[in-house]
Structure 1
Amino acid sequence: MTTFNDREKSFEKKFEKDQELQFKVNARRNKLLGLWAAALMGKGGADAEAYAKDVVLADFESPGDSDVVAKLVKD
């Protein structure tokens, strides 16, 4: 039974690592998307960084990417 328990723990660690990596990838994507949109709006420097941060935070409002898209369309 210990072999199965070890295997289960290994799969759980892999799943946890994969989820963390996916979270980081999505956050980076949203930041870059926010910086790109800020440039289109004529924002630069600290304003662009603040807008990009707002875009990243918008992703936490609901599951999926629709909240990020809605923010970009609204702005």
Structure 2
Amino acid sequence: MTTFDERERAFENQFAHDQEMQFRITARRNRLLGEWAAARMGLTPEETDAYAKAVVQADFEEAGDEDVIRKIVGDLTSAGIDIDEPTVRSALEEQAVIARRQFMEQK
């Protein structure tokens, strides 16, 4: 194996590792956002856990964050909570920072 092949393999491995870490951070962020929304809806701990998992699953509907934001806004509105999309986007950004911090602390 040449040095070039070794470097190429190292870059591929690093890329795969980075993608996996980003996936985990995004999933954690979505879970935290689900917990944030559940607290506003006054859900029980069991309901909060199930709802947070549903938010994580909602992210697989389409690329990007729009599916998660749409779910949270829709669910909060259905629960009678006055909320707008910018508020949810702001909470999403806050939860992303927390998720990244938690992930880095684990290492």
TM-score normalised by L of structure 2: 0.69
Residue 24 of structure 1 and its aligned partner are, at CA, apart by 0.3
**Deviating runs (4+, > 6 A) in structure 1?**
none
Structure 1 runs not aligned, ≥5 long: none
Amino acid at match of 2:38: A
Identity, % of aligned positions? 59
Structure 2 runs not aligned, ≥5 long: 76-107
| 1:64 and 2:64 are equivalent in the alignment | yes
TM-score normalised by L of structure 1: 0.97
Q: CA RMSD in A?
A: 0.9
1:1-57 CA-to-partner distances (Å, cap 9, x unmatched) read: 711100000000000000000000000000000001000001021100000000000
Instruction: Report how many aligned residue pairs link the two structures.
Output: 75
Greater RCO structure (CA 8 Å; 6+ sep): 2
Equivalent position of 1:52 in the other structure:
52
Question: 1:1-75 residue pairs with structure 2 within 5 A?
Answer: 2-75=2-75
